[in-house]
Chains A and B, each alone.
Chain A
Amino acid sequence: QSALTQPASVSGSPGQSITISCTGTSSDVGAYNYVCWYQQHPGKAPKLMIYDVSYRPSGVSNRFSGSKSGNTASLTISGLQAEDEADYYCSSYTSITHVIFGGGTKLTVL
């Protein structure tokens, strides 16, 4: 099973909003509301930012939001800040291999 498809990179200026897409299939993203988003700064461990498509763990800024339409999930970061510059990975439960990750998106804050 191939990885979920994410754009390799996105960028935005401080204060702007950006959206990262995560495209799967009817066996993963489209079938289950178990999409997560992780933030990973260089050399650090991933951090859970969104779970179950649109829920934020305690302590995660409300500038981060998630949504899903069909086979594509999205992460939106509003009011972009320098500290948001990181790699972002989506993941989904899948009936085939249980969990599948996206290839990752590098967010650059200009």
Chain B
Amino acid sequence: EVQLVESGGGLVQPGGSLRLSCVASGFTFRRYWMSWVRQAPGKGLEWVANINEDGSEKNYVDSVKGRFIISRDNAENSLYLQMNSLRAEDTAVYYCAEGRWERQDQWGQGTLVTVSS
């Protein structure tokens, strides 16, 4: 059974940083593109970033470029999202998902990030 388990969310002040983690199991992690997708409270889905199988290609939505960094550790079956210079508008549930752009086949349960003073 495929499982994606996110952690690392919480309350952070504007301008602060957080690092999200996602541990994968049940599939060969190193063979798949992975993404982060977020959902602001009561809002729709927004793709945030993705990373290719070996971590050599990374892509970001414009609103997080220069502030967020996606990375992965295939030896640990883990995906990360380093979030810096956080803003109120980054408040959302962040989902780890298996997939590139065309589709996200599997999703984690999400971790809530709240940016507030």
A binds B: yes
Which residues of A come within 8 Å of B, CB atoms? 3, 34, 36, 38, 44-48, 51-52, 57, 89, 91, 93, 97-99, 101-104
A97–B102 touching, CB < 8 Å:
no
B102 touches A51 (CB 8 A): yes
Known contacts A45-B110, A46-B95, A98-B59; is-contact A93 B44 (Cβ 8 Å): no
Chain B contact patch, size range: 10 to 19
B107 touches A98 (CB 8 A): no
- Determine if B95 and A101 form an interchain contact, defined as CB atoms under 8 angstroms apart: no
User: What per-residue 1/0 map shows which CB atoms of B89-117 lie under 8 Å from chain A?
Assistant: 00000010000011111111110000000
Cα separation A45 to B108 with both chains bound (whole Å): 7
Given A46-B95, A98-B59, A36 contacting B44 (CB threshold 8 A): no
B84–chain A nearest beta-carbon distance, Å: 22
Report if B73 contacts A (CB, 8 A).
no
Instruction: List the B side residues contacting A44 at CB < 8 Å.
Output: 109
Given contacts A34-B101, A48-B103, A98-B101, 16 further A-B contacts (CB under 8 A): A36-B102, A36-B103, A36-B104, A38-B45, A46-B95, A46-B107, A48-B104, A51-B103, A89-B44, A91-B45, A97-B62, A98-B59, A101-B45, A101-B46, A101-B47, A103-B44
**Is B61 on the interface with A (CB-CB < 8 A)?**
yes
> B5-44 CB contact bits vs A (8 Å, 1 = yes)?
0000000000000000000000000000000010000001
